[in-house]
Structure formats: structure tokens, C-alpha cells
């Protein structure tokens, strides 16, 4: 296969080839005449919303991270506020050497409307510290809705000096969307990176020139198999990934009641006084309440139908649900994160014993309340 002198796709970074239409990087020969060359996959994602995603190679990613450590650069680490712990790159500082790291927490538009951004920032600072994340600065924004973006631009400018900027993060956190906003709002460049609602869009480094001859570099997302969104069928992501502000659902539960999140997860209130729990999940995901003693039976009888996603034809691909037990002592409140699905807040400080059932491998963690 000829890859034309390492010409790379301007949308996703894949090397362009003109021989094999069914392989990555294909572009028709005529497309090479254009000023910016994009591959057929990017064309289809952009114009037909095609779900053409690829699982990036983890070794490649580690190589990219380590190579950043060997040069002087600013590292912009993007995480998704909807899956904060799930999308953090643990131990990033080990890879990036002496380089400064700015943590950009994206998608703040997904939180319910009436939230206090400063409170969220305090929460993020605390969580980042607890998770061993070392950063020069933390900024919150929405790249999509253009919230908090001046701060992002100022912060990058302040720490970059005259160096390149590498934008890194887990898949789907909004790296390419954020760089597109920088390009469109702060430069005359025509470039446009490919973005899509599905993880695994950017395939290789894409260098975008800055005014001083340096570059801002888009990178492929890291695949974390502890995120539900990496495990489930792509077709079910539409239901699981929120694209509008979350409308929290509040449930008053008696002990020994359960909630099902499609067939993807289950929450049991095992013991405690009657109290309220608030679910922060995609508005498109249906939550079913039932009695704890009926829950197993209900799951067996209705998964893939009333309890969906996943739909019946792709249930087999879902890892079995495993239990995570938590005891929230009297006097404490908390939230249980199910990485990629959302979180459930235990609002009352009356004490509660809960069990969360989530697909094997998915990260489930108790944390301080964000909201
Ligand atoms: N609600 C919301 N969605 C966002 C925001 N930023 C990006 N998105 C959406 O998140 C999805 C992923 O965005 P991308 O920019 O492709 O993410 P990425 O990090 O480049 O993903 P990979 O290339 O797969 O690693 C798209 O559907 C974006 O529209 C944001 O601030 N808010
Ligand atoms: Mg991308």
C-alpha cells in the first residue's frame, strides 16, 4: 500500500493512502489536489454522522506521552466532567517530565442549569488532588457551548511561553472540539479537526500551526476499559452519553428498593431510613424502580427489552454485572460514580447501605458530592 509521502489527514491525523478504499486513511486521488486533505472516514463522519470509530493503539499512545516528556511543551490535559474520575490520566506527571500541565475540565454545560461554577471548581481541585493529579492550573469550560473559554485561552497563553501545546486526554472528552474552537475563534486558519459523539475519532497526531511557528497538537484519546462507554455497543452510546444538561431524577426510596439503569447497572438501597437519592445520568436513559427481592427476577425476564440498553441482540457483549457495596455512615453524604454512566447522590446523612451492580471492569467509586 502506498502512503503518499506521509501526507496525513487534516481531520484525524491518519496517513493518507489512495489504494484501498476499505482501509484506514483512504482518500480518492482527486482529494489530494485540495488544499486540506481529509480521509474518506472523516468525510463520512462529518457529512453523514457515520459511527466510524477505531480503537486507538495503547502502545502508540504511551509512546506519544513519553515523547512529550522528552521535549519542552505545555501539556493540556482534558477531562470530561461527566466522567471525571474515569477520564483522568492517572500518573500523567510521570510521562510529561518537567513540562507544565494545565487541567481543563470540559463539558460543564452538561450539569443541571442552576449550579455554582465556583463550587464545582473547588470540588474539582479537591478531587484532582485526591487522585494524585499535579497541575499548574485547573480551568473549567464547555468547548461546545463556549463557556469559560477566555480563561482557557489565557491560561494556555500564560504557560505555553514559546513552546508547542499538546492536548491529551481519554477518548471523547472533547480534545478536538476544544482545538477547533481555538482555531475558529482565535485564528484565521481554515483547519477543522474531525469530532464525533463516539470515542476513537482522532487516530494520530495532528499539528496545527500557531502564529510563532509552534504548534498545537491534537492526539488520539486514551482508551480506558474501566469506562462503560468503551465497553458497550456504539449504537447504545446515544442513550448513555448525555448531549443536553442533565435533568436529575430524584427517587424517594425505602430500604430494600432498587433502581435499574436500562440493563447496564443497578442500584440497591439495602438498608437505612427512607431517603432520597438523585440520579445524574443521560436524560435518554430510562430508570426503573423495583423491590430488591424482585430485582434479579426482573433483570432475567426483561433485560434487553423493558430494561434497555443494551437491546436484546447485543446483550451478550455486555460483561456480567458485579456488585460494589458501600456503607455511607451517619452524618455523611456522598455520590457513587459509575464511570461513563453518571452518578447517584446519597442526599441524606441518615446513613445508608447500598450496592451498585455494574458491568465487570467498569470503575465504580464513592466520592464527595459534586453538586
Ligand atoms: N456537551 C458537551 N459536549 C462536548 C463538549 N466538547 C465536546 N463535546 C462532544 O463530545 C464528543 C467528543 O468530542 P471530540 O472533540 O471528538 O472528542 P475527542 O476528545 O477529540 O475524542 P477522540 O478523538 O475520540 O479522542 C462530541 O460529540 C462533541 O460534540 C462540551 O463542552 N460539552
Ligand atoms: Mg479527537
Same domain for 196 and 83: yes
Same domain for 215 and 114: yes
Domain count, the chain: 3
Residues 324-340: tens digit of each pLDDT? 999 999 999 999 999 99
- The pLDDT score that the predictor gives to residue 3 is 46
Same domain for 200 and 157: yes
- The pLDDT score that the predictor gives to residue 277 is 97
Same domain for 294 and 182: no
| Residue of 41, 86, 172, 199 to test ligand 1 pocket, by largest number of atoms within 8 Å of CB | 172
The response to whether residue 200 sits with its C-beta less than 6 Å from ligand 1 reads yes
Give the model's confidence band at 190: pLDDT under 50 very low, under 70 low, under 90 confident, else very high: confident
Residue 97 within a domain = yes
Q: Which residue has the cell 442526599?
A: 347
Residue 257 within a domain = yes
Helix residue ranges, H only, the chain: 40-48, 58-69, 84-87, 92-96, 117-130, 149-160, 175-186, 228-231, 237-240, 292-302
- The pLDDT score that the predictor gives to residue 239 is 96
In CATH, what number is assigned to the domain containing residue 81? 3.40.50.300
- The pLDDT score that the predictor gives to residue 53 is 67
Q: How far is the CA of 181 from the centre of ligand 2 (A)?
A: 13
Is the pLDDT at 229 greater than 70? The verdict is: yes
Q: Which of 197, 224, 251 is the last residue of a domain?
A: 224
pTM for the full predicted model? 0.94
The response to whether residue 77 sits with its C-beta less than 6 Å from ligand 1 reads no
Same domain for 266 and 173: no
CA of 142, closest atom in ligand 1: 31
Give every CB contact of residue 197 below 8 A, 6+ residues apart in sequence: 172, 237, 238, 241, 243
Residues 38-73: tens digit of each pLDDT? 999 999 999 988 877 677 677 778 888 888 989 999
Same domain for 161 and 113: yes
Is the pLDDT at 35 greater than 70? The verdict is: yes
Residue 166 within a domain = yes
| Residue of 174, 181, 192, 194 to test ligand 1 pocket, by largest number of atoms within 8 Å of CB | 174
Residue 230 within a domain = no
**Mean pLDDT over all residues of the chain?**
93
Query: Rounded to 5 degrees, what angle do the CA atoms 152, 154, 156 make?
Result: 65
- The pLDDT score that the predictor gives to residue 148 is 94
CA of 220, closest atom in ligand 1: 25
Residue 43 within a domain = yes
Taking CA atoms only, the protein residue closest to ligand 1 atom 26 is: 197
Q: Which ligand is nearest to the CA of 179?
A: 1
Q: Are 87 and 173 in contact (CB under 8 A)?
A: yes
Same domain for 207 and 258: no
Q: Which of 224, 245, 271 is the last residue of a domain?
A: 224
Mean pLDDT of 126-144: 94
Q: What are the angstrom distances between the C-alpha of 73 and each of 106, 107, 161, 164, 250?
A: 21, 25, 9, 5, 45
Same domain for 136 and 94: yes
Residues 233-291: tens digit of each pLDDT? 999 999 999 999 999 999 999 999 999 999 999 999 999 999 999 999 999 999 999 99
Same domain for 35 and 81: no
The response to whether residue 177 sits with its C-beta less than 6 Å from ligand 1 reads yes
Give every CB contact of residue 152 below 8 A, 6+ residues apart in sequence: 104, 139, 141, 178
The response to whether residue 238 sits with its C-beta less than 6 Å from ligand 1 reads no
The response to whether residue 87 sits with its C-beta less than 6 Å from ligand 1 reads no
Same domain for 128 and 108: yes
Domain that holds residue 108: 58-224
Residue 133 within a domain = yes
Same domain for 88 and 41: no
Residues 117-128: tens digit of each pLDDT? 899 999 999 999
Residue 229 within a domain = no
Same domain for 301 and 201: no
How is 176-199 classified by DSSP, letter by letter?
Answer: HHHHHHHHHHH----------SSS
Amino acid at each position: 500500500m502506498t502512503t503518499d509521502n506521509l501526507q496525513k489527514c487534516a481531520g484525524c491525523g491518519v496517513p493518507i493512502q489512495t489504494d484501498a478504499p476499505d482501509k484506514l486513511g483512504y482518500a480518492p486521488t482527486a482529494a489530494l489536489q485540495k488544499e486540506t486533505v481529509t480521509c474518506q472516514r472523516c468525510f463520512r463522519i462529518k457529512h453523514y454522522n457515520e459511527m466510524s470509530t477505531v480503537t486507538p493503539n495503547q502502545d502508540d499512545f504511551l509512546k506519544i506521552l513519553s515523547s512529550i516528556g522528552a521535549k519542552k511543551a505545555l501539556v493540556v490535559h482534558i477531562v470530561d466532567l461527566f466522567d471525571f474520575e474515569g477520564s483522568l490520566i492517572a500518573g500523567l506527571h510521570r510521562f510529561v517530565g518537567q513540562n507544565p500541565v494545565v487541567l481543563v475540565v470540559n463539558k460543564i454545560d452538561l450539569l443541571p442549569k442552576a449550579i455554582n461554577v465556583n463550587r464545582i471548581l473547588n470540588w474539582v481541585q479537591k478531587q484532582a488532588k485526591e487522585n494524585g493529579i499535579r497541575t499548574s492550573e485547573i480551568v473549567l469550560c464547555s468547548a461546545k457551548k463556549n463557556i469559560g473559554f477566555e480563561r482557557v485561552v489565557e491560561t494556555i497563553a500564560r504557560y505555553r511561553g514559546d513552546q508547542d501545546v499538546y492536548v491529551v486526554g481519554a477518548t471523547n472528552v472533547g480534545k478536538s472540539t476544544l482545538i477547533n474552537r481555538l482555531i475558529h475563534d482565535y485564528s484565521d486558519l481554515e483547519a477543522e479537526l474531525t469530532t464525533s459523539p463516539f470515542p476513537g475519532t482522532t487516530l494520530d497526531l495532528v499539528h496545527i500551526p500557531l502564529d510563532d511557528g509552534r504548534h498545537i497538537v491534537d492526539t488520539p484519546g486514551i482508551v480506558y476499559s474501566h469506562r462503560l462507554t468503551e465497553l458497550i455497543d456504539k449504537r447504545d452510546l446515544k442513550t448513555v452519553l448525555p448531549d443536553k444538561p442533565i435533568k436529575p431524577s430524584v427517587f424517594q426510596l425505602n430500604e430494600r428498593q432498587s433502581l435499574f439503569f436500562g440493563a447496564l447497572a443497578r442500584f440497591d438501597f439495602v438498608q437505612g431510613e427512607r431517603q432520597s437519592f438523585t440520579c445524574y445520568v443521560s436524560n435518554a436513559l430510562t430508570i426503573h424502580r423495583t423491590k430488591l427481592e424482585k430485582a434479579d427476577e426482573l433483570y432475567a425476564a426483561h433485560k434487553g427489552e423493558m430494561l434497555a440498553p443494551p437491546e436484546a441482540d447485543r446483550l451478550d457483549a455486555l460483561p456480567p454485572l458485579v456488585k460494589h457495596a458501600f456503607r455511607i455512615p451517619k452524618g455523611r453524604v456522598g455520590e457513587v460514580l459509575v464511570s461513563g454512566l453518571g452518578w447517584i447522590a446519597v442526599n441524606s446523612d441518615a446513613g445508608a447501605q447500598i450496592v451498585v451492580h455494574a458491568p465487570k471492569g467498569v470503575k465504580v467509586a464513592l466520592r464527595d458530592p459534586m453538586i
